[in-house]
Amino acid sequence: MRPWKRGLLRFLSFDPSSAKTASSLQTGYIEAMTTYPTGPVATAIEERLRAALSPTRLAVIDDSEKHRGHAGHDGSGESHFTVEIVSPTFEGQSRVARQRAVNTALADLLAERVHALAIKARAPSEV
Amino acid sequence: MSDEQVHEAQARIATAVHSADVLLFMKGTPLFPQCGFSSRAISILDHLGVEYATVDVLQDQGIRQGIKTYSDWPTIPQLYVKGEFVGGSDIMMEMYESGELTDLFAEKGVANAG
């Protein structure tokens, strides 16, 4: 593999050490509602996922700023998101099934407002 | 699109997914991916060194829309191995990191890139 590709892959891969740091800071009731405060679309995503999947941990991260100026960035921000979600409903489900559940809960937002969504879906036993 | 066009696009998708052991529907081409998620998918396939084919959905509106219903999956890229839907770029990355993608390619007897 060409060196630049190896670098790209490393750049794009999820860094588990940062996730561990975040989870170690969560205690008690805060664990059930960890979010990074953002705009109305992020809030809507969070509400839908809470209602549909009863997550024990949820982070909705607005990545829009990283994509400023590229297709899909509509200028309002709130176009590119990452969702990290832990839900008991994912226990025993395939990766495809988990992502479908998230996509279904967010269907109208994905159709109208959200250009790109990265999903990390885990069951409590995998955390 | 008319029903006939939708049906025709579905037939072309079915043909495409069986046309190569590893097939990626993406935006752009391997050399010039037009989206970060497609770019990431290509990086993974290149890194694993398997032979693969791609379909650029930006060149074909019928496929671009039809691929979303074909596997009930709303986003692109989409990876198919021996005609079976595996997942999008998040799933590819998770399976790459855990080694499952390497195992899947071996299990399915996928050829290495020459």
Outline where chain A has alpha helix (H).
3-12, 16-24, 40-53, 95-105, 107-112
Residue B81 pLDDT greater than 50, yes or no: yes
Q: What is the mean pLDDT of chain B?
A: 95
Binary contact (A1, B47; C-beta < 8 A) = yes
Residue from B20, B23, B85 nearest B54 by CA: B23
Residue A26 pLDDT greater than 90, yes or no: no
Cα(A78)–Cα(A36) distance, integer angstroms: 13
Domain boundaries, chain A: 40-126
**What would the pLDDT profile of B46-71 be if each residue is shown by its tens digit?**
999 999 999 999 999 999 999 999 99
What pLDDT is attached to residue A90?
Answer: 97
Picking from A85, A96, A113 by the largest number of B CB atoms within 10 A of its own CB, the best residue to mutate is A96
Residue from B88, B85, B87, B77 nearest B27 by CA: B77
**What would the pLDDT profile of B24-42 be if each residue is shown by its tens digit?**
999 999 999 999 999 999 9
pTM tops 0.90, yes or no: no
Residue B33 DSSP one-character state:
B
Dihedral sign computed on CA atoms, order B102, B103, B108, B111:
positive
Cα(B75)–Cα(B72) distance, integer angstroms: 9
**What are the counts of helices (DSSP H) followed by strands (DSSP E) for chain A?**
5, 3
Residue of chain B with shortest Cα separation from A108: B74
- The helix/strand/coil state of B63 is helix
A40-126, what's its fold? GMP Synthetase; Chain A, domain 3 (3.30.300)
Strand order across the beta sheet in which A116-122 lies: A57-62, A80-86, A116-122
Amino acid found at A102: V
* Domains recognised in chain B with CATH numbers: 3-107 (3.40.30.10)
Q: Could you tell me which residues of chain A have a Cβ less than 8 Å from any Cβ in chain B? A: 1, 5-6, 8-9, 12-14, 67, 71, 95-96, 99-100, 103, 107, 110, 116-120
Tokens of B98: 């855990």
> Cβ distance A40 to A52 under 8 Å?
no
> What are the phi and psi torsion angles at A62 (to 5°)?
-85, 110
Query: A98: distance to nearest CA of chain B, Å?
Result: 10
Using CA atoms, how far residue B37 sits from A69, A100, B1, B88, B91, in Å, is 17, 17, 27, 9, 11
